[in-house]
Structure 1
């Protein structure tokens, strides 16, 4: 791993999603465990797309990569309970806001000895490392048990934009995509295949930010992006097109093969998202909205 500081066939699964059984050392598979932004959204109006906050798992060349640890991380952890062997995985956080980290205290595999997790993130807006942010949210009175009760081996890495993480022949590159939120996106490359994870896009990105984003997503097989939205106090479905247009414009400019929109606003109900998907596909035919349990093979 270079330039990193070590710190102290598409399918849907609507119930009980499980880790893909056909993943192997020669496959690249993406699975969605949480697709919401801001806060979890339980309820009958979020059944089809799901209400857990963001968490995406990638099986790449036999390695487990996880992007963001919203409440979907808890469901991912439960799916791993069926696995008997010790686990090793790499968790990449796009930022340290609550909706990205709130599932970590409930990630059951982290409490099991012999498991090992490598955890990556950039400094928050107040300068706190990803280790400090995860540690702080598990302190009283916020949580009953401190991070130290986790029995697995936890290794923390402080990223800066531009870092590359090399895991054998898999390369993960971090790029700053939202200066205001101190958010990074990631490009994951293996052999001739590539996926970009950029779920903090915003419609008012300046020229420098747009250039960094375009460079990161250029020609990828799959782009996972967010539907941009206004703050929760002024969320307005009348401007629905603005939610996905930023991602579509970037995907077109960068020659992206497939676009997946995720990270929905809490007020976006299933019927509304169904309508968005129709509009989205009319603008970018090879685009879909993610739902919890969605499994996508990359390339092959």
Structure 2
């Protein structure tokens, strides 16, 4: 019998660029990558620098890697780790890649485009794994394995992008990152997240940073949201658990700890995503 649990593990939780160092050692400095194990099926969300360590872990623990990799959008911080994803170089492995097209370029063209000379010495076509590249669109619902569904919604982000929902045997999680909130709750994200067990939400800014108060320059129009807006969406969608994600490059471990402390007063079941931590549903 197939395992019914969803196991979510964070391999990269930072936005924009990697920020290694003493002040980010607790929550981590790698760019976005989340692994979701749905029974025996491996789903990977985004391919930031966190996917490098995930790849090494997979090669060390599995004889053969079969994975479904869903990309929110092809900004660098969400794909920059893929050329260093070790399983892609091994012929026994099979990878299914999904992502949105952009500017009349297919997702396949966008992924191949970062692995070209003189920017990178290995061409995408030289990867040894069996790789399937698929365009995916807002409103799609895919059954990638029996009883395992992936649904999508459009993000409010420069150049566009997608949020994802994973449903597996009565358990569900949503990955809502690189999306800017509106003055009212985003109906598409609310519908996608409705009743989910957990949402992983773009919390790059605080409200003060976003609005440009308390001495900050406004971040309106940058395509990112705040942890406070994440709480609003979680409540509106009837979500059980909220994970703050896509931490700003300047955000220290101490600041994230304080955000968690403040947020729990308003929404008890929340936390800031940290590399290496897992959630089991």
TM-score for both structures, normalised by structure 1: 0.85
1:249 and 2:240 aligned:
no
Moved more, 217-226 or 175-184: 175-184
Q: What does the per-residue CA deviation read over 1:11-36, in whole Å, with 9 as the maximum and x for residues that have no partner?
A: xxxxxxxxxxxxx6332100000000
User: Using the alignment, how far apart are the partners of 2:5 and 2:73 within structure 1?
Assistant: 28
1:225 and 2:201 aligned:
yes
SS at match of 2:7: strand
SS at match of 1:178: coil
Q: What does the per-residue CA deviation read over 1:79-134, in whole Å, with 9 as the maximum and x for residues that have no partner?
A: 0122342211000001111000000000000000020000000112x222221111
Partner of 1:168: 146
User: Using the alignment, how far apart are the partners of 1:237 and 1:25 within structure 2?
Assistant: 48
SS at match of 1:137: coil
Cα distance change on mapping 1:237 and 1:147 into 2, 3 Å: farther
Give the CA deviation at 1:239.
8.3
Give the CA deviation at 1:179.
5.3
1:60 and 2:43 aligned:
no
When the two chains are superposed, the root-mean-square deviation of aligned CA atoms in Å is 2.2
Partner of 2:220: none
Partner of 2:190: 214
User: Using the alignment, how far apart are the partners of 1:161 and 1:80 within structure 2?
Assistant: 30
User: Using the alignment, how far apart are the partners of 2:215 and 2:195 within structure 1?
Assistant: 29
SS at match of 2:192: helix
Number of residues of Structure 1 aligned to a counterpart in Structure 2: 269
- Stretches of structure 1 that go unaligned for 5 or more consecutive residues are 1-23
Give the CA deviation at 1:141.
1.9
Give the CA deviation at 1:236.
7.1
User: Using the alignment, how far apart are the partners of 1:293 and 1:73 within structure 2?
Assistant: 12
User: Using the alignment, how far apart are the partners of 2:187 and 2:131 within structure 1?
Assistant: 34
Contact 1:69 1:103 in 2 (8 A): yes
SS at match of 2:226: helix
1:261 to 220, 240, 244: 244
Give the CA deviation at 1:148.
1.5
1:135 to 89, 108, 112: 112
User: Using the alignment, how far apart are the partners of 1:49 and 1:206 within structure 2?
Assistant: 30
Contact 1:203 1:228 in 2 (8 A): no
User: Using the alignment, how far apart are the partners of 1:83 and 1:174 within structure 2?
Assistant: 30
1:115 and 2:93 aligned:
yes
SS at match of 1:29: strand
Q: What is the 5 A alignment of 1:1-300?
A: 25-124=3-102, 126-166=103-143, 167-178=145-156, 180-204=158-182, 210-229=186-205, 238=214, 243-298=226-281
SS at match of 1:293: coil
User: Using the alignment, how far apart are the partners of 1:202 and 1:181 within structure 2?
Assistant: 12
Cα distance change on mapping 1:265 and 1:184 into 2, 3 Å: same
- Stretches of structure 2 that go unaligned for 5 or more consecutive residues are 217-224
Give the CA deviation at 1:288.
0.4
Give the CA deviation at 1:183.
1.3
Contact 1:178 1:205 in 2 (8 A): no
Contact 1:165 1:171 in 2 (8 A): yes
Partner of 1:17: none
